[in-house]
Amino acid sequence: MFRRGGSEPWTLFFDGQPVPARDGDSVASALLAAGVRVTRQTQLSGAPRGPWCMMGACFDCVAIVDGRRGVRTCMTQAREGLRVVTQRD
Amino acid sequence: MSPSETDVVIVGAGPAGLAAAIETARRGLRTLLLDENPAPGGRVWQALQSRGAGDPDDTAGLALIRAFAASGAEARYGASVWGIEAGTVFWTQDGASHTARARRVLLATGTTERPVPIPGWTLPGVMTVGAAQIALKTGGLVPDGNTWIAGQGPLTVFYAVQAVRAGGRIAGILDLSAPAARWRAVRHLPGAISDIRKGLGWLRELRRAGVPIVRATDPRAEGDRAISRISFRVHGRPRTEPADLLLLHDGVIPSIQITRALGCAHVWDAWQRCWRPETDAWGETTVPGAIVAGDGAGVGGAAAAVLSGRIAALGCAHALGAIDAATRDREAAPSLAARARALASRPFLDTLFAPRPVDPDDATLICRCEEVTAGQVRDAVRLGCQGLNQLKAFTRCGMGPCQGRMCGPSAADVLAAARGVDGRTIEPYRTRFPARPLTVGELAGLER
């Protein structure tokens, strides 16, 4: 797992739970820092998936962000109050 | 929306794109630089302005970023390019579509990591080494607990060093390189002395930090909803270790999504076992007006990419009439000589870490998006499938949202082995724009 030190002054929400974040965070890195590894389930088998490449190429870290489906959490800057929900297809 | 007009659009604000933009702007060409990330630097200098320089390479990066800011070139960040057609570049920024018409398009889109399809590689908690490095650079995340690294190439060791320096803990590194590659690489040693010295320093640092490096084969990630352990073989003997994070890496390959969709000719790079766009000395592809610079034209590292960007920009400035041929050649000469020096260590590195064709068991997923296994690819070949583009119709392999970025190279390896032909005979996926999934809103926005 990952961890980090320093302050995480603001908060986004993942499946309703508060996740601390800081400037420079993508949604995916804030989630990983909080120990969240699953952001979606696959359409075919329902297998859990989470961030793999962190550079926008693999589309495995997509989630529902502020109501929009299929958003790459690694390419989305974390913002105060952002609402992220696990994408279940 | 009426398109804006410019001379050169550069895609990618990494080493090559920044250097190219500085040079074209300096030659009086209107230059627009687009990058998907929130700040310049590309992968190697990602978030460099906010985290500060940590070594001499970073310092050079910061200087380049500052020179770019003062160059007069325009930059758009958070700009995700998804199409190029007849001199018009299409991108999305803040959820809205934008276009610009350009006389030349210079692609500096770099690389992606080669996929490493081992059993369990889709389990949450299994990521690439490059992904963990991005998390470190942008968010200060360090690995803790039972973190393993597996694969080959300088980045496996370099990331471990960066992680340890930042206070992280690595349980161990599984070296999956071919033992015989060491002997083959020996004859290329002379060109790589300084890189070897750097590498030996990293290995000493890891030894002091107590990070074991184990020569291993047959790695597997195992677990239920996420990874909980890894298994592998050491000298043929099976071993299992607890793991909550596994980082995989087998080098990087040029991103050819855009050049394939443009219809550029590509050549097989036998050293690095990958496809790259065919270019002339100035980075011009076989499609008029489309130029490629940096690692996207063939992997050489950041220092070589800066020089490639500068060289391609000079070629572009000449093609657009901003400088004459004599000026182009005179100004490019020092960069060409410096690039040759920067590439001197490649034969050693490319031989030592020569990628091997992947040959996963039937149950291992090849296509992460459509959940297609190696066995399904082999079944398709038995039914008569000859190539990757047919494989889409047979299995949906390569038809998910990543558009073949994650499965292309390994699907080609499995297909080639099943057919009994060489990997270079398998044409890569024919890609089409848009280069990533779009919303209806993004498309409709173009009409305004």
Q: Does A49 touch chain B (CB under 8 A)?
A: yes
Judged on CB neighbours under 10 Å (0-12, 13-18, 19+), B188 is middle
CA distance B76 to chain A (A): 15
What pLDDT, on a 0 to 100 scale, did the predictor assign at position B448?
A: 53
Q: Which residues of chain A does B78 touch, with a Cβ-Cβ cutoff of 8 Å? A: 77
Q: Does A53 touch chain B (CB under 8 A)?
A: yes
CA distance A18 to chain B (A): 18
What pLDDT, on a 0 to 100 scale, did the predictor assign at position B54?
A: 87
**Whether pLDDT at B1 is above 70:** no
Q: Which of B138, B142, B167 sits opposite A26 (nearest CB)?
A: B138
CB within 8 Å of B167: residues ≥ 6 apart: A5, B142
- A70 and B401 in contact (C-beta within 8 Å)? yes
Mean pLDDT for B179-185 is 89
CB pairs < 8 Å spanning A and B: 126
Judged on CB neighbours under 10 Å (0-12, 13-18, 19+), A67 is exposed
pLDDT tens by residue, A26-43 = 999 999 999 999 999 998
- B159 and B184 in contact (C-beta within 8 Å)? no
Q: Which residues pair with A84 in a beta bridge?
A: A14, A65
pLDDT tens by residue, B19-62 = 999 999 999 999 999 999 999 999 999 999 999 998 899 999 99
- What is the Cα–Cα distance from B416 to B418, expressed in whole angstroms? 5
Query: What is the token pair recorded at B333?
Result: 């000469």
Nearest-Å Rg of the Cα atoms of chain B is 22
pLDDT tens by residue, B147-157 = 999 999 999 99
**Whether pLDDT at B3 is above 70:** no
**Whether pLDDT at B445 is above 80:** no
Q: For residue B444, what pLDDT band results from cuts at 50, 70 and 90?
A: confident
φ, ψ at A23 (rounded to 5°): -55, 140
Quote the Cα angle for B159-B117-B218, to 5°: 85
Nearest-Å Rg of the Cα atoms of chain A is 12
Listing DSSP states for A13-24 in one string gives EETTEEEEE-TT
- B244 and B147 in contact (C-beta within 8 Å)? yes
Q: Helix (H, G, I), strand (E, B), or coil: what is residue B182?
A: helix
Q: For residue B145, what pLDDT band results from cuts at 50, 70 and 90?
A: confident
First to last CA, chain B: 5
Q: Of A5 and B304, which is predicted with more confidence?
A: B304
Choose the mutation target among B122, B170, B438 for the interface with A, i.e. most A CBs under 10 Å. B122
What ipTM was reported for this prediction? 0.98
pLDDT tens by residue, B331-357 = 999 999 999 999 999 999 999 999 989
φ, ψ at B25 (rounded to 5°): -65, -40
The residue type found at A42 is: T
CB within 8 Å of A53: residues ≥ 6 apart: A60, A74, B112, B113, B127, B128, B130, B131, B406
Number of Cβ atoms within 10 Å of the Cβ of B55? 9
Mean of per-residue pLDDT scores for chain B? 95
Q: Which of residues 128-187 of B touch A (CB under 8 A)?
A: 128, 130-132, 134-135, 138-145, 147, 167
Judged on CB neighbours under 10 Å (0-12, 13-18, 19+), B327 is middle
Q: Does A17 touch chain B (CB under 8 A)?
A: no
Mean pLDDT for A37-58 is 96
First to last CA, chain A: 26
Instruction: Note whether B127 contacts A59, CB cutoff 8 Å.
Output: no
Least confident interval from B212-216, B356-360, B369-373: B356-360
Q: Which residues of chain B does A70 touch, with a Cβ-Cβ cutoff of 8 Å? A: 401, 437
Could you give the percent of chain B with pLDDT greater than 90?
91
- Model's pTM, two decimal places? 0.96
Number of Cβ atoms within 10 Å of the Cβ of A1? 16
Mean pLDDT for B81-109 is 95
What pLDDT, on a 0 to 100 scale, did the predictor assign at position B447?
A: 59
- What is the Cα–Cα distance from B205 to B207, expressed in whole angstroms? 5
Mean pLDDT for B162-175 is 97
pLDDT tens by residue, B380-435 = 999 999 999 999 999 999 999 999 999 999 999 999 999 999 999 999 999 999 99
Query: What is the token pair recorded at B306?
Result: 């800066």
Q: For residue A25, what pLDDT band results from cuts at 50, 70 and 90?
A: very high
What pLDDT, on a 0 to 100 scale, did the predictor assign at position B427?
A: 96
